[in-house]
Amino acid sequence: MAKRDYYEVLGVPRQSDDGQLRKAYRKLAMKYHPDRNQGDESAEGKFKEAKEAYEVLSDARKRAAYDQFGHAGVNASAGGGFGGGFGDGGGLHDVFDNIFNDFFGVAQGRRGGWRGQRTVYRGRDLEYGVQLTLEEAAFGIEKTIPVTTMQTCGHCDGKGAEPGSDIRDCSTCRGSGQVWAQQGPFSIQRTCPHCKGQGRVIEKPCTDCSGSGRVRSTKTLAVQIPAGVDRDDRVRLSGEGEAGIGGGPPGDLYIVIDIRPHEVFQRKDNDLLIDVPIPLTTAALGGEVEVPTLNGRVKLKVPAGTQSDKLFRMRGKGIKSKREYFTGDLICRTHVETPVNLTARQKELLRELDTSLCGGSYKHSPKVGRWMEGIKSFFDNLDLKI
């Protein structure tokens, strides 16, 4: 019989996220649990089917292959570990182990006995904001930052007990951190009330960390910020987050980049934008103006007749990409400046120039001419309507 679609098995849409997949799988796993369906072969089949579907869809690589090629794309990796039935062969016992490990974070024995392994938790990931100048972001820089976080206690080396004192497995849960309680026909797993889920009992708690194995302290880190970072980029420092609980691995520290506004440049991705004021005469006759870049001064050629808001692109004068082998551009936006503080002679010369340029036409000012024509057309149509 052909396999059912994995999304159909779990009863979720194809765009479901990891949380939706996990919730659907847990519901099915509990529904078809053998303790609730003893001797029911169809329940066993549905349980294995749900397990297989979840194993594939919860793995990003397998899910991508399944979405593209269907069951053929995951044939070699899906469905493994289902050998055996409800008997002593152990295949389905391994499935139960995986369920409890997924949902409760506790290592369970193959035949229902606990291994006595202490429950551990990975430390939290942390974020630390760093503000850079545009130049620092463009060329990279090493920053020294202080980070206050929960760190492994140095006095007890994270064990939670005074050096030389005894740490023993909890006698109530036999080191698992979990106990079973009977509710009607069902067995319910709960946190051990004696050790509070730790799986162990400390005879003499550490005086520095009060038995937690962690203390809050500040450490100083040297962080290399790569060239080309942009606002909201994150630099990951593996293992520099909070210390884990119960000997668990530490979390990571993420450096979140912010960039201060620059007095000259605006940034867009790897390009830089700069406003360049140019004199009226240079705009009319053409010439060169000096503009700054992050690497020094360059000359911008301005053609005759340049207008305000004209964009000129200077290739390779922007910011080098942090991931690819290219550099952005410098985009110069011109602003033609009207002369101010004129002398009487300068005003006279401008009037002579205006008379020479206009001469009863708009040959030298085409935008003004088009605008005037539009105004005339507007009033002519208005007169006709009246």
Question: Looking at the predicted structure, is the pLDDT value of residue 98 above 60?
Answer: no
Q: Residue 173's pLDDT is what?
A: 85
For residue 80, what pLDDT band results from cuts at 50, 70 and 90?
A: very low
Per DSSP, which regions of 126-249 are E strands? 126-132, 141-152, 167-169, 178-183, 186-191, 200-202, 214-225, 234-237
For residue 34, what pLDDT band results from cuts at 50, 70 and 90?
A: low
Of 215-219, 341-345, 382-386, which range is least confident?
382-386
Q: One-letter amino acid identity for 332?
A: C
Kindly give, in sequence order, each residue whose CB lies less than 8 Å from that of residue 69, ignoring residues fewer than 6 positions away: none
pLDDT in tens, 123-140: 899 999 999 999 999 999
Kindly give, in sequence order, each residue whose CB lies less than 8 Å from that of residue 146, ignoring residues fewer than 6 positions away: 218, 219, 220
Chain-centroid distance of CA 105 in Å reads 26
Q: Residue 386's pLDDT is what?
A: 59
Which position has the higher pLDDT, 160 or 271?
271
Residue 46, CA atoms < 13 Å, CB-side half-sphere: 19
Kindly give, in sequence order, each residue whose CB lies less than 8 Å from that of residue 148, ignoring residues fewer than 6 positions away: 216, 217, 218
* Residue whose pair of structure tokens reads 């088009």 in the numeric block: 370
Q: Residue 325's pLDDT is what?
A: 82
For residue 228, what pLDDT band results from cuts at 50, 70 and 90?
A: very high
For residue 359, what pLDDT band results from cuts at 50, 70 and 90?
A: low
CA distances from 279 to 188, 341, 350 (A): 83, 14, 14
Q: One-letter amino acid identity for 291?
A: V
Cα-based torsion angle of the residue sequence 273, 274, 277, 281 in order, rounded to the nearest 10 degrees = -60
Closest CA to 239 of 129, 141, 105, 124: 124
- Straight-line distance from the first to the last Cα atom of the chain, in angstroms, rounded to the nearest whole number: 83
